[in-house]
Structure 1
Amino acid sequence: MALLRMYAAKTIITGGLLRSYIDTHKVLLVACKQTIAQQLGLPEPPKRPLVPHLRFLKHYLEVNKMNFPGLTHRELFIKTSQLWKSLAPTEKEKWTCEYEKDKIIYDDRYKKYMSTLIPSQVESIRDLKEKQAKDKIRQGKRREKKKEANMLGKPRYPGNGFTLFMISLDRGETPSKDFMAGVAKLWHDLPQETKNTYHTKAKENLEQYNQELMKWEVKMLKDGRDDLVRRCKLEGELKFIAQSQKHQKQ
């Protein structure tokens, strides 16, 4: 612990680490995501104009950032969102008019863009959009299942040794990018013996997690919620419960 405090003191890293890591990971995923045109090797279509409230947020986030330099990005976003909600209908109408003007220009440019494509390219765009829409629905269902499982007490995955090291630190006001770079360097510089203590603890946590997860899944099976468990891991338990229920009915 003394060594950990020494490393922590060498940095400005303070605040919710694990959440920052997850948020940063999501940002990187979004940044690396390809557009439909990129996936199909086509020229980029014109960009849609921002809808009124997003147009307003983009403008006033920058304004509030200058007016309130002490606020975090999340606080700035909340403050700006509240400002939009408090606008009079006549004020909102100004932003709507700007959007509608840009939308007319966009529609014309998009129509010309589509006219430059051959039928097979248009069909490929349509097919890919349909696939993405279906994937989005499936992802939404998975998120709902995950949320429901958590509400029903599903144990949370404890993470690996590096995750435990991250959780032991705080971030404070350090930007996510700098924060992650600092954590990665700290981990890299840790003596192997110290790393092993995190790995050992992570292994113990994983064993406990697997035991708790198995108990939870068995309970879900008995409650008729086999849609929330790993069926491939519990085939034997599924058969046993099915047979027990059959005998009870008899």
Structure 2
Amino acid sequence: MALRKLTKLRPNHVSASDKGRTLPVHESSHIQSGDIIIVGAGVFGASAALELSRRGHTVTLVDPGPLPHPDASSTDISKMVRPDYGADRFYSHFALECITLWKRWNSEIGRPFYHETGFLVLAGGEMRPTGFEHDSLNVLLQLGYDVDRIDGRELHRRFPAWPSESYPDGYFNPTAGWVESQNVVSWLISEAVQSGVCVLETSMLRLLERGSRVSGIVTREGHDLHANTVIVAAGAWTPTLLPWLEPALQCVGQ
């Protein structure tokens, strides 16, 4: 879904009356954009924009477009949602909270974006401590979630497509599934616009700074966007926008 179809386009100046519109940036040399700028309209940027707008903030969402952007990590047919993260108890707990919210969104939207199909974890031998499979199972049990232990015989009975002789141990976690990721991002952006978020189809050239504080961004057209807070939600492009972070941020795979 192209964002330009969500709302009427208006050129040039961004003011309070432009909230909830999608705007191309053209001729204005100085644009006052409100108290929060979010760079990147993927799932993190779009969801942050929607939530902050609902909390009463004036939000400008900046992305080169088209939206959802075809190169964004969250633009895909589906993405897995699971709390199985080895020994990382914090991340597992965080993921389980998110699954609760996904179910709430399903109810609010009136159609399922999150599909709870479960997550099958298999090991090529007996699961042992420090292994991903064992530690994931252990954390879920500690958090009080029911999972089904799967041995070779049970694997053959329930999931016959998998060779039971190759995977003698494992488990099935029913509290997991997949999300229609591109459709979710389209919905988030549409809801953000309806909530009052101003979406600018442009990209960030650099940060604006005032003393030791970030005070906004400069767009690729050379326009200044001022804000009290700037959130960069650019995923793998973050080191390109903020090159001094490149040693600390590396894209490891997708």
TM-score w.r.t. structure 2 length? 0.22
Where is the strand percentage greater, Structure 1 or Structure 2?
2
